[in-house]
Amino acid sequence: MFDGFTLERRPGDGAELRVRHGGSGPPVLLLHGHPRTHATWHRVAPRLAAAGHTVVCPDLRGYGESSKPPTDPDHRPYSKRAMAADCLALMRGLGHERFAVVGHDRGAYVATRLALDHPAAVSALSVLDGVPIGEALRRCDAKFAARWWHWFFLGQTAKPAERVIDADPDAWYATTPEHMGPEAYEDFHRAIHDPATVHAMCEDYRAGLGVDREHDDADRLAGRRIACPVQVLWATRDDMADLYGDVLAVWHDWAGDRLEGAPIASGHHIAEEAPDELAAALRGFWRTSPVTERRG
pLDDT digits (tens, 9 = 90+) for 132-151: 999 999 999 999 999 999 99
CA–CA dist 82, 62 (Å, integer): 11
Q: DSSP strand E in 75-120: where? A: 99-104
The predicted-structure confidence for 164-194, as pLDDT tens digits, reads as follows: 999 999 999 988 888 888 999 999 999 999 9
CA–CA dist 26, 60 (Å, integer): 22
Omega within 30 of 0 (cis) for the link into 35: yes
pLDDT at 175: 83
Q: The domain at 6-288 falls in which architecture?
A: 3-Layer(aba) Sandwich (3.40)
What pTM, to 2 d.p., does this model score? Answer: 0.95
Q: How many residues does the chain have?
A: 296
CA–CA dist 11, 16 (Å, integer): 5
CA–CA dist 145, 149 (Å, integer): 5
CA–CA dist 248, 6 (Å, integer): 36
51: Cα separation from own chain's centroid: 22
Backbone φ, ψ for residue 66 (5° rounding) = -75, 160
CB 191 within 8 A of CB 197: yes
Identify residue 143 by its one-letter amino acid code: K
Helix (H, G, I), strand (E, B) or coil at 95: coil
- How does 162-199 read in b/e, with b if 16+ C-beta sit within 10 Å? beebbeebeeebebeeeebbeebbebbeebbeeeebbb
Task: Give catalytic residues, as residue numbers.
Answer: 105, 268
The stretches in the chain having pLDDT less than 70 are 290-296
